[in-house]
Amino acid sequence: MTHFRAAERSIALLIVLAALGLLLGWLLGQAGFGMAAGLLLWAALQLRQLLRLQRWLASRRMHAPEAEGAWQPIFDSLERRRKADRRRRRRLLIALEAFRDAARALPDGIIAIDDSDTIHWFNKSAKRLLGLRYPADVGNHLTHLVRSPRFVQWLGEGPLDDPLIDLPSPGDERVRLLCRVIGYRPGFRMLIVRDVSNLMRLEQIRRDFVANVSHELRTPLTVINGYMEALEPEELGEFGGLFVQMRQQSRRMAHIVEDLLTLSRLEAQSMPIADQVAMRPLLGTILRDAQALSAGRHQIELCVSTELDLLGSGKDLHSAFSNLVVNAVRYTPDGGQIRLLWEMREQEACFSVCDTGPGIPSQHLPRLTERFYRVSNSRSRDSGGTGLGLAIVKHVLNSHGARLGIESRVGEGSCFRCLFPKKCLHDRSATGTSESALA
């Protein structure tokens, strides 16, 4: 309504000035010139308002200057907008300050970097944990300041869903760090660094405890087993049956201790071993062991369709592969089939053990590699398992940068796949012949 009235007033002013100009011009005998002068005066008034508006917009003043006619509502609305903008800016500044204070107070280090690892911002804890200096290090490459090869490789290669665990702080080796990275907008990533020294210490205490207990148990168990192997159940008359059970359980205990020691050794291994492991002989041995364990109860088949070898620890890989094969033999009922495969699957080399056993319900699959996790307690104990086999497999594969994939259908069977990335592979024969051998 006010806008409308203001426009009306402007038009009225235009008409009045034109009419006055016309009247004066007519009185002077120059009606046309008179009207043109009236219109020119109106245009000059509008130009004055425009200049005022321009000057005010260029200034930082909050209150708009006085305006006339149709200009009044324009000035008013621009003034309201300017005030609202200032309020919004203040609110944003307060929110930004609050965010900065919160980020500063965080015990975790936060560093904003771009795709080329250039540092854009970091908080106080990042200074302490990574030894960064403010403002000198803003604009520098993070990998020039944190030079640990593990960190540089992790940040460069990923997969960044996985955190980097146990990185020594550049300033103090005793401080152990856990690093995560999150992409928060295109081209930018946020690195979160946490001090996990206490957690790592507790983890070390746990590992040492398990290793020491296993070690201490090994000697008495070896002695007990030795005596038990020397005795014959028939010599014990009515206690013969009990003795057989004791001997079985004592052997099982010895296996558990051996597996726990293997796990402790794998956990303590800091540097991955990168020997060349010839796959054909290794798979041949595993096949023969499986056939001996099965004693003709299963149909066991080995297919080799790649000549690639592995880089790693032959002993650990043998242990991991035979754990999978022993499980397949143990859990597959008599007459079932077991297939061992060494092949390329897209970019990865894959050793699979597939069986036609009972299968595993899907809800158990994510927890299968936990120590002592069992699908069915009675089934695994009857089979003589220790509950540590798949935990060993997972550890061996992790230490080789490989992963375990499990597919299983209840009533149909299971497939355990060890997937090795390119960096674990060694191409022995450049010709790369392909064959399938049925053993």
- Chain residues binding ligand ADP by CB under 6 A are 323, 327-328, 331, 355, 357-358, 360, 368, 374-376, 379-380, 385-391, 414
Residue 380: CB minimum distance to ligand ADP, A: 3
Residue 125: CB minimum distance to ligand ADP, A: 40
Nearer to ligand ADP, 253 or 375 (CB): 375
Nearer to ligand ADP, 76 or 407 (CB): 407
Residue 321: CB minimum distance to ligand ADP, A: 13
**Matching residue, tokens 């070390």:** 204
Residue 165: CB minimum distance to ligand ADP, A: 23
Rounded to whole angstroms, the Cα distance separating 12 from 416 reads 90
Residue 247: CB minimum distance to ligand ADP, A: 19
Nearer to ligand ADP, 294 or 323 (CB): 323
DSSP 409-425: ETTTEEEEEEEE-GGGE
**β-sheet bridge partners, residue 272:** none
SS3 assignment, position 349: strand
Rounded to whole angstroms, the Cα distance separating 351 from 372 reads 24
Nearer to ligand ADP, 64 or 388 (CB): 388
Nearer to ligand ADP, 121 or 373 (CB): 373
Count of other CB atoms within 10 angstroms of residue 50: 11
Task: Name the residue with the smallest CB distance to ligand ADP.
Answer: 385
CA angle, corner 271, sides to 349 and 392, nearest 5?
60
**Matching residue, tokens 């397949």:** 328
Contact 423, 310 (CB under 8 A): no
DSSP 82-124: HHHHHHHHHHHHHHHHHHHHHHHH-SSEEEEEETT-BEEEE-H
Nearer to ligand ADP, 128 or 371 (CB): 371
How far CA 255 is from CA of 241, 248, 384, 386, in Å, comes to 22, 11, 9, 7
Residue 355: CB minimum distance to ligand ADP, A: 5
The burial of 325, by beta-carbon neighbours within 10 Å (0-12 exposed, 13-18 middle, 19 or more buried), is given as buried
Residue 105: CB minimum distance to ligand ADP, A: 44
Nearer to ligand ADP, 37 or 338 (CB): 338
Count of other CB atoms within 10 angstroms of residue 164: 19
Nearer to ligand ADP, 247 or 374 (CB): 374
Residue 175: CB minimum distance to ligand ADP, A: 35
